[in-house]
Chains A and B, each alone.
Chain A
Amino acid sequence: MGSAVEAIDVVKVFGDIRALDGLSFSVKHGEIFGLIGPNGAGKTTALRIVSTLLLPTAGTVNVFNLDVINDAAEVRKIITYLPEEAGSYRNLSGWEYLEFMAKFNIKGKNELNRMIKEAAEITGLGERLKDKTKTYSKGMKRRLLVARALMNKPKLAILDEPTSGLDVLHAYHVREIIKRYIEEHGVTVLLSSHNMLEVEHLCDRVALLNKGKIVAEGKPQELKEKFQSANLEEVFAKVVGLA
């Protein structure tokens, strides 16, 4: 069985900046894989390439054996992408937003209703789903968007900083949603985060990114043992020569 995501020697150049510089990684079926690193390391660019938003300057990326350049339309059928700090449509209610998004994947009315009900349950927003999303707090909005990203049971969910900027309770809720979905539906997740402590508890495997390159990769526990560190932050500091 092939990998869920296979990135080989990916380079992305914006003007004078080399955002990705020979990035290679592989995500297995059904795992939560984290790309972690500081701001500007290239995490978002990598996720945008996997989700067919950007084209790589060089290298190849396959998602379930589909090429993100040549088979982009097919790739979009099996993935969902959640951008960092994304908004929802301010004047739609939470329910209407879920309905709007579900209609891109589902045709039948019964299945549509079932999917929206399930998504509504994931959000945990209850009656507030009837309110316009402009009245939501940042945490509520994120729960809505994560539910949207998972509700159609994609083969691969790409989540950019899923808990960034959330308080402890909302971050915990979002992490629980992701974990539960993986267990129940076997969705593969590729996520990015600069919160290394959080990722340590959420991801099966991680890749540490710095200046567009992977500087270390493996299970969090293995990396900590290998670099004799108490947590991934220390691992990162040692790898990039800060400690």
Chain B
Amino acid sequence: MLKGFINILVKEIKELVRDPKVLLGMIVVPLIMFPVLGLIMGYSMQSAREQAEKATLLVVDNDGGNWAKNFTEYLNSSVKVSVVNNIALNNDVVLKLLSDHNVTQFIEIPSGFSANMTKYINGNIEINAAVNFYGVFSGGGILQEVGSAIIDSLVAGFNRVVAPNAVYTFKSAIIKGEVQEGVDPSVLSRLMLSQAIAMPITIMILLTYSMSIAATSVAMEKEEKTLETLLTLPMDRFAILMGKLSGSILVAAVGAVAYMIGFDYYMGSFTAAIPSTTLDLVSLGIVPSLFGYLLLGISLFVTLLSALALAVIMSAFSEDVRSAQSLVGNITPIIIIPALLLMYLDVNSLPLALKIFIYALPYSHPIIAAKAVMMGDYWTVVWGIVYVTIFTLVILYAASRLFATEKILTAKLKFRWLRKRAKKPTEELQ
């Protein structure tokens, strides 16, 4: 055994464990955060599945034959079915149907279904019967596939009862109000999943990294006492705050660009190995426009600004760099939770309470915006920007008030509740 090792180890553990900020950031937060995240994810998935199962399945019967009736009855034994008859489908009619029945998907039993079924049953296995599935595509996310997957399992169930491969499903997606024939919304969702994962990860890293830079920057000034010198100079104190925020944003932005380039290569390195898909996202209109990119940039900027201002405020309550970083580390769960949730779930598929929670967190908005600009839903992005801007202004005002007073030097967080006996206030300022 190394001489002195145990002694050093015991001292290190004592120092770390007795620092309440480290204790909170490194042990308590992860212990709480992941179970909470697991609960939220589980609840969301279950709730979405239940909703999909409870929802009424709209069936447009354009065949009217016996097999169409049999098929509808089979569906009705598993899900609640609502049938409408004889509607010639075109783009406008499809949209009207969805809107009138307040659904996001439906099945059409086309004319000739019963005839084809009869032929198939009689041994002509070349001719099987198709049903048409129409589903609205609203961005990437695992739960996008739930509706489509239920239809697949129902059709498979029917085939098991009647004859193998008798019925197949021809799927179409409704993207931005346009019916795209032959585009399976669930395949599209899977394709968009890489994007749905990349954006939250980028934003999560960008926010935590830049918050750490801002917190270190202020804490370093406090630790080195250069802040005291700055505060006695003939200058606007708000300039110190804005200078620090801008510097951190610039560094973070360069970091973000480097990160995105790296991530792009990373994604490209293994997507290149996957056989190319027939889906062309550009022709389907699922790429953000220039205006969309601009909105996304603004959303990211205001969110970044609010995170940095919050980091500056928090670091003002610490005496040195280490405690500033562990203090800022305590708020990473409110960045990580929405990022991980929105990586897999569509915000609109969440239960109302969770939806409010996610929208209330300012750090969710650039992630929501990334999906929304892709779908051309600019109002969601604009309202997000307005909300985060108001939040940022409040934080900036608090930060500027902090810099305008002696609190920037004297403020300290006390964790007396973590200690067995209350300590006397610090005498450092004397």
The reply to whether A104 and B234 contact each other, CB–CB distance below 8 Å, is yes
A193 part of interface (Cβ distance < 8 Å): no
Binary flags per residue of B386-426, CB closer than 8 Å to A gives 1, else 0: 00000000000000000001100110000000000000111
Interface segment, B224-232, B257-265, B327-335? B224-232
Which of B231, B234, B235, B430 contacts A19, CB < 8 Å? Answer: B430
The reply to whether A17 and B427 contact each other, CB–CB distance below 8 Å, is yes
Residues of A within 8 A of B (CB): 14-17, 19, 39-45, 48, 51-55, 73, 76-77, 79-90, 101, 104-105
B429 part of interface (Cβ distance < 8 Å): yes
The reply to whether B225 and A105 contact each other, CB–CB distance below 8 Å, is no
Q: Report B-chain residues with C-beta under 8 Å of the C-beta of A39.
A: 430
B290 part of interface (Cβ distance < 8 Å): no
Closest chain B residue to A97, Cβ basis: B226
Q: Report A-chain residues with C-beta under 8 Å of the C-beta of B410.
A: 14, 54
The 5 closest A-B pairs by CB, nearest first: A87-B224, A15-B425, A86-B225, A81-B232, A83-B225
B39 part of interface (Cβ distance < 8 Å): no
Question: How would you classify the secondary structure of chain A's contact residues: helix, strand, loop or mixed?
Answer: loop
B13 part of interface (Cβ distance < 8 Å): no
A53-B406, A55-B406, A105-B234 given; A42·B430 CB < 8 A: yes
Q: How far is the CB of B79 from chain A (nearest CB, A)?
A: 66
Q: Report B-chain residues with C-beta under 8 Å of the C-beta of A41.
A: 430
Q: Report A-chain residues with C-beta under 8 Å of the C-beta of B225.
A: 83-87
The reply to whether A44 and B232 contact each other, CB–CB distance below 8 Å, is no
B88 part of interface (Cβ distance < 8 Å): no
The reply to whether B228 and A104 contact each other, CB–CB distance below 8 Å, is no
Interface size on B, residues (CB 8 A): 21
Q: Report B-chain residues with C-beta under 8 Å of the C-beta of A40.
A: 427, 430
Q: Report A-chain residues with C-beta under 8 Å of the C-beta of B232.
A: 51-53, 76, 79-81
Q: Report B-chain residues with C-beta under 8 Å of the C-beta of A51.
A: 232
The reply to whether A16 and B226 contact each other, CB–CB distance below 8 Å, is no
Known: A17-B427, A40-B427. 9 other contacts (CB 8 A): A16-B425, A44-B430, A45-B430, A54-B406, A80-B232, A81-B229, A86-B226, A88-B224, A101-B233
Q: Report A-chain residues with C-beta under 8 Å of the C-beta of B235.
A: 76, 104
Q: How far is the CB of A20 from chain B (nearest CB, A)?
A: 9
- Docked pose: A93 CA to B425 CA in angstroms: 38
- Docked pose: A44 CA to B429 CA in angstroms: 7
Closest chain B residue to A49, Cβ basis: B406
The reply to whether B233 and A19 contact each other, CB–CB distance below 8 Å, is no
Q: Report B-chain residues with C-beta under 8 Å of the C-beta of A44.
A: 429-430
- Docked pose: A54 CA to B409 CA in angstroms: 8
The reply to whether A53 and B228 contact each other, CB–CB distance below 8 Å, is yes
Name 13 interchain pairs, CB-CB below 8 A, sorted by A: A14-B429, A14-B430, A16-B425, A40-B427, A42-B430, A44-B430, A73-B234, A83-B229, A88-B226, A89-B226, A90-B224, A104-B234, A104-B235
A14-B429, A89-B226 given; A53·B231 CB < 8 A: yes
- Docked pose: A40 CA to B428 CA in angstroms: 8
Q: Report A-chain residues with C-beta under 8 Å of the C-beta of B405.
A: 55
Q: How far is the CB of B398 from chain A (nearest CB, A)?
A: 19
Binary flags per residue of B3-27, CB closer than 8 Å to A gives 1, else 0: 0000000000000000000000000
The reply to whether B229 and A19 contact each other, CB–CB distance below 8 Å, is no
Q: Report B-chain residues with C-beta under 8 Å of the C-beta of A19.
A: 429-430
A54-B410, A77-B234 given; A17·B228 CB < 8 A: no
Q: How far is the CB of B274 from chain A (nearest CB, A)?
A: 45
- Docked pose: A16 CA to B425 CA in angstroms: 7
Which of B224, B233, B427, B430 contacts A104, CB < 8 Å? Answer: B233
- Docked pose: A89 CA to B230 CA in angstroms: 12
Q: Report B-chain residues with C-beta under 8 Å of the C-beta of A90.
A: 224
Closest chain B residue to A90, Cβ basis: B224
Q: How far is the CB of B77 from chain A (nearest CB, A)?
A: 73
Q: How far is the CB of A116 from chain B (nearest CB, A)?
A: 16
- Docked pose: A146 CA to B330 CA in angstroms: 39
Q: Report A-chain residues with C-beta under 8 Å of the C-beta of B425.
A: 14-17
- Docked pose: A87 CA to B220 CA in angstroms: 10
Binary flags per residue of B198-229, CB closer than 8 Å to A gives 1, else 0: 00000000000000000000000001111011
- Docked pose: A112 CA to B282 CA in angstroms: 57
Q: How far is the CB of B218 from chain A (nearest CB, A)?
A: 14
- Docked pose: A228 CA to B406 CA in angstroms: 42
- Docked pose: A105 CA to B234 CA in angstroms: 7
- Docked pose: A90 CA to B410 CA in angstroms: 24
- In B314-361, the 8 Å CB interface with A consists of none
Q: How far is the CB of A233 from chain B (nearest CB, A)?
A: 20
Closest chain A residue to B426, Cβ basis: A14
- Docked pose: A88 CA to B225 CA in angstroms: 8
Q: How far is the CB of B272 from chain A (nearest CB, A)?
A: 41
Q: Report A-chain residues with C-beta under 8 Å of the C-beta of B228.
A: 48, 53, 81, 83, 86
Residue in A19, A52, A53, A84 with the greatest tally of chain B CB atoms within 10 Å: A53
Which of B224, B226, B233, B429 contacts A45, CB < 8 Å? Answer: B429
Q: How far is the CB of A151 from chain B (nearest CB, A)?
A: 13
